[in-house]
Amino acid sequence: MNKETFYLTTPIYYPSDKLHIGHSYCTVAADTLARYKRLRGYDVRFLTGSDEHGQKIERIADSMGVTPKEYVDNIVSGIKELWKTLDISYDRFIRTTDDDHVAAVKKIFKKLYDKGDIYKSEYEGWYCTPCETFFTEHQLVDGKCPDCGRTVEKVKEESYFFRLSKYQDRLIKHIEDNPDFIQPASRRTEMLSNFLIPGLDDLCVSRTSFKWGIPVDFDTKHVIYVWLDALTNYITALGYGSNDDSLFKKYWPANVHIVGKEIVRFHSIIWPAMLMALDIELPKQIFGHGWLVIDGGKMSKSKGNVVDPKVLIDRYGIDAVRYFLLREISFGQDGNFTNEALIQRINSDLANDLGNLVSRTVGMIDRYFGGKLPLEHMSTEFDADLKSVAISTVESFEGFMDKMFFSDALSALWTLIRRTNKYIDETQPWILAKNDEDKPKLAGALYNVAESIRVVSIMLQPFMPKTPEIIQKQLNISDSKIIEWDTIRTWGLLPKDIKVEKNTALFPRIDIKKELVELENAIKAAQNETIVSKEKQKEENNEDDSDEIKEITIDDFAKVHLVTGEVIASESVKGSKKLLKNTVKVGDNVRTILSGIAKYYTPEEMVGKKVVIVENLAPRKMMGETSCGMILCAADKNGKLSLITDDKQFESGCDVR
Ligand code: MSP
């Protein structure tokens, strides 16, 4: 029998040199749903990826002296590494620079153009580069981007437009007829009243002012503007528009696109309209989750409040981090991230409730029965209630999971965990152990506890990739049939004479006072490690992007240490057409400096050059190499670089003033 399919997606992420815990939140949630659906017997397809085109990337890459492709290749490998660390079980990681995606997007654009749903006109309006979004004058808030509050740029250029307005009525009808299409319900109301009912403008879908994008085949000075390129990933990843569209036939329409609340608009208005224009069925649901906030505000590098998931994973393991994210915050709403809440959850829910339950049970079976229960069991007056809580937990857990109410599902599961701990207190195994005639009762009680732990371990699986297996190992479960999902509805599947294996604590208790200090230091250290390129920092600090020269004081200038140095070795950087890796002698010291000058100097020409360098520039990583400092060049109006050097051949290590 063919299994029912379930296709789910995360947004594709903008390449950023360090994704923070807020980004991980969405992916962890999607992964949990994917795991859950697989356990429930679905044929799951789980897609994630990276959204790599656009002016912002082009500018950052340029400021770093690398090509956009070199820049994104480097960053994307970091994103994939993070997903590996978090055990994200995706089936495909699509990059919008993948050949199959690029080819399919070109075809989609042409198809819409041929149909008359894309037409050429002139765009005049405002553009927010970080958000890759155009705005009309009246959409701006205090003259700034309504989404991120940053400065916008006035643009006027020839553009292709998508006839979004044509689909307005059909969209409203679809949203009204399908209450589950946009979830949670509050976002559905917001889309209707803030965007659809006031009326839709046609959408600009090409640009001519930058190059880093998929070119329009039949008008190559245009590149396809990023949302058409980005949103279509959900179908191109299945082979739509290619020679082999079998996956598309099998998995489309998507069951759910899981996205952050700020991009619900693109997913529930622009994307469905594009699909309507392409005569493709609409996804079944767009789920807009809330943000992980710090002190009420979104995490961002410029605020210096980002939390690196790797720091948390290193300290507490992935299962604890994943648990915290999905337990602490209701999926549709914003939730505050605090170090204290994280440690408290680990201590109370994981160490105390779950960890303790497993370790005391295994410990008692070990202590009272040498690690193996006898076959003779007697019931206690508390059994019926424990069993009925187990059964009702399964029902509520599944109900919540089906609606993506992850926090409620975990809360239901913890009701069973706590009930089981209470059962131990009620049956008092340590008293039963004192009398030989109570041994069957003791065996029966410990069996019930172990059975409850079996059921818990199965329901934990979508959330925790590692712990359930460790628990099942402690219960010595070798028969995989008794850990299949549907077995949670049947009580008593563990062998009566189960053996246990003692092991270390699942989640060691944390000394909260001491840990808070250490954790904060670790998070800060990771923040300082994040070296943001000059351009990016400018954007994030909301600085004006014009070429206007700003005055600085002598004190500002004094902060920049300029010194002379001598290039004593130079080589090209693997995978980069722009960069040279230079070894520069500065006085008695030697340092590595990467420069984007490969187009203008060969490594051989570099050796022996006396140069001026910025000595106190924070180190930054490019193409896997760390650059310490910057070699100064003069750039002509075409961007051609010439080293600032000196015919008198100055000594290395001199101050430049
Ligand atoms: N590239 C677009 C999506 C295109 S989908 C066709 C994009 N990328 S993003 O990298 O900026 O964001 C990716 C996802 O991370 C979004 O869903 C966004 O909401 C989510 N988050 C980013 N910061 C977040 C928090 N602080 N908290 C929760 N989610 C956050 O948008």
Distance in angstroms (rounded) separating the CA atoms of residues 530 and 130:
19
pLDDT digits (tens, 9 = 90+) for 84-142: 999 999 999 999 999 999 999 999 999 999 999 999 999 888 888 887 777 888 788 88
- Tokens describing residue 472: 């099942």
Q: Does ligand 1 lie within 6 Å of residue 22's CB atom? A: yes
Give residue 226 CA to ligand 1 midpoint distance, Å.
15
Q: Does ligand 1 lie within 6 Å of residue 501's CB atom? A: no
Strand order in the sheet with 43-50: 92-95, 43-50, 5-13, 256-260, 286-289, 182-183
pTM score over 0.75: yes
Distance in angstroms (rounded) separating the CA atoms of residues 362 and 280:
55
Cα-only R_g, the chain: 29
pLDDT digits (tens, 9 = 90+) for 197-232: 899 999 999 999 889 999 999 999 999 987 999 999
Q: What is the pLDDT of residue 535?
A: 40
Q: Does ligand 1 lie within 6 Å of residue 377's CB atom? A: no
Angle, helix 21-39 to helix 318-328, in steps of 10 degrees: 90
Q: Does ligand 1 lie within 6 Å of residue 643's CB atom? A: no
Q: Reduced to 3 states, what is the DSSP secondary structure of residue 164?
A: helix
Give residue 115 CA to ligand 1 midpoint distance, Å.
32
Partners of 336 in beta bridges: 293
Residue nearest to atom 5 of ligand 1 (CA): 11
Most ligand 1 atoms within 8 A of CB, residue of 17, 75, 94, 263 to mutate: 263
Residue nearest to atom 16 of ligand 1 (CA): 260
Q: Does ligand 1 lie within 6 Å of residue 271's CB atom? A: no
CA 306 → CA 51, 64, 195, 207, 407, distances in Å? 21, 22, 31, 32, 23
- Tokens describing residue 222: 């245009």
- Tokens describing residue 426: 């009620």
Give residue 28 CA to ligand 1 midpoint distance, Å.
13
Which of 404, 427, 423 lies closest to 415, judged by CA?
A: 423
CA angle 236, 240, 242 (to 5 degrees): 100
With b meaning 16 or more CB within 10 Å and e meaning fewer, what string describes 609-637? bbbbbebebeebbbbebebbbbbbbeeee
Domains observed in the chain: 5-308 (3.40.50.620), 337-489 (1.10.730.10), 552-643 (2.40.50.140)
Residue nearest to atom 6 of ligand 1 (CA): 231
Which of 603, 596, 604, 583 lies closest to 623, judged by CA?
A: 596
Residue nearest to atom 7 of ligand 1 (CA): 13
Q: Does ligand 1 lie within 6 Å of residue 13's CB atom? A: yes
pLDDT digits (tens, 9 = 90+) for 130-146: 877 778 887 888 899 88
CA 163 → CA 121, 137, 316, 420, distances in Å? 12, 20, 50, 59
Atom of ligand 1 nearest to the CA of 271: 6
Atom of ligand 1 nearest to the CA of 233: 6
Give residue 79 CA to ligand 1 midpoint distance, Å.
13
Most ligand 1 atoms within 8 A of CB, residue of 25, 26, 267 to mutate: 26
Average pLDDT for residues 458-480, to the nearest whole number? 96
Pair type for strands 610-614 and 203-204: unpaired
Beta-carbon count within 10 A of 2 CB: 6
Beta-carbon count within 10 A of 282 CB: 19
- Tokens describing residue 239: 């082979």
Cis bond upstream, residue 272 (ω within 30): no
pLDDT digits (tens, 9 = 90+) for 562-602: 999 999 999 998 877 888 999 999 888 889 999 989 989 99
Contact between 163 and 202 (Cβ < 8 Å)? yes
Atom of ligand 1 nearest to the CA of 227: 6
Average pLDDT, the chain: 91
Give residue 486 CA to ligand 1 midpoint distance, Å.
35
pLDDT digits (tens, 9 = 90+) for 264-320: 999 999 999 999 999 999 999 999 999 999 877 777 766 678 899 999 999 999 999
